[in-house]
Chain A
Amino acid sequence: MIEEIVKDISNKLLIMQPVDFSDIVGMDAHMERLSPLLSMDSESEVRMIGIWGMGGIGKTTIAKCLFDQLSQGFSARCFLQNVSKIYRKGGVSYLTEKFLSTTLGLSKKKMKGSGVKLGPQEIKARFGCRKVFVVLDNVDDMRQMHAFAQESSWFGPGSRIIITTRDKGLLNTYGVRTVYEVKCMDTGAGLQLFNQLAFEGRLPPSELYEKLSIRASWLAQGLPAAIEAYGLFFRRMASLKEWDDALCRFLRAPDENVMEILKVSYNGLEEADKNVFLHVACLFNGEPLQRATTLLDDGELQGCLGLKILADKSLIEITAGGYIKMHNLVDQTARAIVNQESVQRSHERGVLWDPYKIYELLEHDSEPTKCMALHMCDMVLPLHLGGHSNYKDTLKFLKIYKHSDHIKSKLHFSTDDANLLSSKLRLLHWETFPLTTFPCRFHPQDLVEVILHRSNLTSFWKETVVKALSRSMLITMIFQCLYIFTLFPILC
């Protein structure tokens, strides 16, 4: 019995435990901007406020701070941390149980004995007339929202319900009109937070460390979770050499923990949207939305819908000028995912960007891919593209860049080889394209963009031939070409 009481009190204490949020960099600004949205003076209405932003941006911390500062005057209050996790563990009933036990301050055992029924109706009956302050943290499914309130009359007048989520679409569907978007920290604030953690509140010991700390905090690109992870990591680095090594490591790929946070959003996507996401990271980060939409919108990828979903789930941002902006760490995470998946599912590779993987694919007749972005600056060795007998026509997006300072291309390509010039190509972007004319078997059907800067072309393909043939005849011709090519590679 005593044990029960202690547990009960400690449960209550846990909720009331004061945390000092005044130290957190940027928190005051968030509170100031949120204050008018919450309009705490309005006693008659139930207000729902969504806090929306990408993973690791600090939504939960902001919600905790709001709860800490504002929930005191409410007759019932509840901070339900990680709703998504609770729901995955035990479904709607477990979620309501958690909610009731936290709000009523009852332990699990006591809940069973108290006769409190579990279910949405119970919430309405108990809180319909009470002024409550509820935070539903990390909601990612409509069913989780419905478990608490199918209409605002479930809570008494003056109640405030705060929902943190990565998915704006979910807030829209639920009719939450007041949405606070959490954005990345600016460079100054990011550096301040980083230094607080890396040098334990002290100033950098020398100018050199100061310079390194600017570079290190820049790698986190204003994402608080990453700044925190990097700050704590660099705290352990004792020498300048260690700092330098760690910087190089994070330049290549983000910290594992940061990637885990960012991957959650990716894992929640449908298969088609996952594909669009990886394409955007490797090809269209920084490009106009309109352009990416046109290129990605074929029957299979459904880019138009996919890009909207990615923006809703805060994996990309659409700037005011209509450009796609993907956070650098999200971009890096996407590239890491591409590499991991290409190992796991080498037979159905979607996107390729890593020069080593491209060497592997092109030099060893592996299974073909649908999208390839190759930066020749990243190529360490020259790549010779020989004739491939195992030719499969799947490549849709091809982007080959070359640095304008490089005099010689590292990519060697012979007229025989049409391996990269698939007839499914939608984007053909090849800087310093080496051929003087297109191979006879290149008959693209779905080309949306052709960008061949500083190409070696003297003439194009013979359009007159293409015009004269019907689609089916064309296909036959391609096969004939291939057939001849396979039999007499020297002749073709």
Chain B
Amino acid sequence: MRRLDLSGSENLEQLPDLSMSVNLEELITRGCKNLKRIPESISNLSMLTKLDVSYCDELNSYNITIKEMTVGWRQISLYFSGKEVEMDSIANLSIGGNIHIQMLRLHATQITSVLVLSNKHRTH
């Protein structure tokens, strides 16, 4: 399977185990308002380039790190049960909700776009 798009499925609470879907390139759950978590099983999907978990209101307190490793090589890490997992293949990430994003060592010239939409102003 290359693409799984469940956008707007508001009752969906849980995604299937995707560890066997090694060819998955796109996972889109935009607007799945009851989705509780991003399944841990995606951490081994080496073909996954697009992850869109925006407008998933139940996806709470998520930690994400975006690091610039060397020039032109960016790394996105997601946290699954407190453990940081590097997702090398993801080039296109959309995420929303109450999340913590950490951006480290970013070279401004290498980034095509970062869009942060927020209705709350955080002081820290």
Cβ-based interface call for A110 (8 A): no
Cβ-based interface call for B40 (8 A): no
A294 proximity list for chain B (CB < 8 A): 2
Cβ-based interface call for B9 (8 A): yes
Q: How many residues of A contact B (CB 8 A)?
A: 23
Cβ-based interface call for A43 (8 A): no
Total cross-chain contacts (CB, 8 A): 61
Are B1's CB and A457's CB within 8 A?
no
Contact size range, B: 10 to 19
Are B5's CB and A451's CB within 8 A?
yes
Would you list which residues of chain B between 1 and 52 have a CB under 8 Å from chain A? 1-18, 20
Among residues of A, the one whose C-beta sits closest to the C-beta of B26 is A449
B4 proximity list for chain A (CB < 8 A): 449-450
Are B6's CB and A448's CB within 8 A?
no
Are A454's CB and B1's CB within 8 A?
no
Cβ-based interface call for A356 (8 A): no
Q: Apart from A449-B5, A455-B12, A459-B12, what are 11 other A-B pairs with CB-CB below 8 Å? A: A448-B3, A449-B3, A450-B1, A452-B9, A453-B5, A453-B8, A457-B12, A458-B12, A459-B14, A460-B14, A461-B16
Are B9's CB and A447's CB within 8 A?
no
Are B1's CB and A464's CB within 8 A?
no
Pick the contact of B17 from A453, A454, A464 — CB < 8 Å?
Answer: A464
Chain A 132-176 interface mask (CB, 8 Å, partner B; 1/0): 000000000000000000000000000000000000000000000
Would you list which residues of chain A between 409 and 466 have a CB under 8 Å from chain B? 433, 436, 447-464, 466
Are A457's CB and B11's CB within 8 A?
yes
Among residues of B, the one whose C-beta sits closest to the C-beta of A464 is B17
Are B9's CB and A450's CB within 8 A?
no
Chain B 37-73 interface mask (CB, 8 Å, partner A; 1/0): 0000000000000000000000000000000000000
**How long is the Cα–Cα vector from A456 to B12 in the complex, in angstroms?**
8
CB pairs A–B below 8 angstroms (5 shown):
A448-B3, A451-B3, A457-B6, A458-B12, A466-B20
Which B residues fall within an 8 A CB radius of A? 1-18, 20
Cβ-based interface call for A241 (8 A): no
Among residues of B, the one whose C-beta sits closest to the C-beta of A429 is B5
**How long is the Cα–Cα vector from A458 to B12 in the complex, in angstroms?**
4
Cβ-based interface call for A109 (8 A): no
Are A458's CB and B11's CB within 8 A?
yes
Are B17's CB and A457's CB within 8 A?
no
B7 proximity list for chain A (CB < 8 A): 453-454
Task: Give the top 3 A-B pairs by smallest Cβ distance, nearest first.
Answer: A460-B16, A454-B8, A463-B17
Cβ-based interface call for A467 (8 A): yes
Are B1's CB and A449's CB within 8 A?
yes
Among residues of B, the one whose C-beta sits closest to the C-beta of A455 is B9
Among residues of A, the one whose C-beta sits closest to the C-beta of B15 is A460
**How long is the Cα–Cα vector from A461 to B11 in the complex, in angstroms?**
15
> Counting chain B CB atoms within 10 Å of each CB, which of A451, A460, A464 scores highest?
A460
**How long is the Cα–Cα vector from A37 to B3 in the complex, in angstroms?**
45
B15 proximity list for chain A (CB < 8 A): 460
**How long is the Cα–Cα vector from A464 to B16 in the complex, in angstroms?**
9
Contact (A467, B20) CB under 8 Å given A449-B2, A460-B14: yes
A456 proximity list for chain B (CB < 8 A): 9, 11
A452 proximity list for chain B (CB < 8 A): 5-6, 9
**How long is the Cα–Cα vector from A477 to B4 in the complex, in angstroms?**
25
Among residues of B, the one whose C-beta sits closest to the C-beta of A427 is B3
**How long is the Cα–Cα vector from A176 to B81 in the complex, in angstroms?**
63
Contact (A463, B9) CB under 8 Å given A294-B2, A448-B1, A449-B3: no
B16 CB to nearest chain A CB (Å): 4
A471 CB to nearest chain B CB (Å): 13
Among residues of B, the one whose C-beta sits closest to the C-beta of A462 is B16
B1 proximity list for chain A (CB < 8 A): 447-450
Contact (A467, B11) CB under 8 Å given A449-B3, A453-B5: no
> Counting chain B CB atoms within 10 Å of each CB, which of A436, A455, A456 scores highest?
A455
Contact (A436, B11) CB under 8 Å given A449-B1, A450-B3, A467-B20: yes
**How long is the Cα–Cα vector from A450 to B9 in the complex, in angstroms?**
13
B35 CB to nearest chain A CB (Å): 11
**How long is the Cα–Cα vector from A433 to B11 in the complex, in angstroms?**
12
Are A454's CB and B5's CB within 8 A?
no
B12 proximity list for chain A (CB < 8 A): 455, 457-460
Are A448's CB and B2's CB within 8 A?
yes
B17 proximity list for chain A (CB < 8 A): 463-464, 467
Among residues of A, the one whose C-beta sits closest to the C-beta of B30 is A453
Among residues of B, the one whose C-beta sits closest to the C-beta of A447 is B1
Among residues of A, the one whose C-beta sits closest to the C-beta of B16 is A460
A466 proximity list for chain B (CB < 8 A): 20
A455 proximity list for chain B (CB < 8 A): 6, 8-9, 12
B3 proximity list for chain A (CB < 8 A): 448-451
B17 CB to nearest chain A CB (Å): 4
B20 proximity list for chain A (CB < 8 A): 463, 466-467
